[in-house]
Homo-oligomer: A and B are copies of this chain.
Amino acid sequence: MARDLIDACCPPLLSAALSQADADALAATFKALGDPVRLQLLSLIAAAPGGTACSCDLEEPVGKSQPTVSHHLAVLADAGLITKVKLGRWVNCTVVPERLAELRSALVT
């Protein structure tokens, strides 16, 4: 992703006072990361070959039921941190590196 696009998507948090709208959008994404089960799911997906994992392989490692995992994956997808492709009763989840790059750029001092 071009640097210009990253800057446009995600205003740096720390170089000037954030507007209310920017603060709302950025806080929603950090809130999605503010849960240990979601962080574990994201790390499992990112560490899988090609950064893609089937939801069927995520329940056992995090010790949660299919509905609970499905809920947390939906929160990660709503925050733009993963994409989901439905495959029968499961979903294939892929990390979105550009979204993580945006968050990193927002945390630059």
Task: Point out the residue from B40, B103, B109 that lies within 8 Å of A107, measured CB to CB.
Answer: B103
In this complex, the member of A18, A28, A95 whose beta carbon has the largest number of chain B beta carbons within 10 angstroms is: A18
Determine if A74 is an interface residue (Cβ-Cβ < 8 Å): no
Interface string of A31-58 (1 = CB under 8 A from B): 1111111111011101100010000000
Q: Determine the residue in chain B with the shortest Cβ distance to A31.
A: B34
Number of copies: 2
A37 and B18 alpha carbons, distance in the complex (Å)? 10
- Count class of interface residues, chain A: 35 or more
Closest to A63 in B: B20
Indicate if the CB atoms of A43 and B30 lie closer than 8 Å.
no
Chain B hits for A5, CB < 8 A: none
Taking Cβ atoms with an 8 Å cutoff, the residues of A that contact B are 13-18, 20, 23-24, 26-28, 30-40, 42-44, 46-47, 51, 61, 95, 97, 100-101, 103-104, 107-109
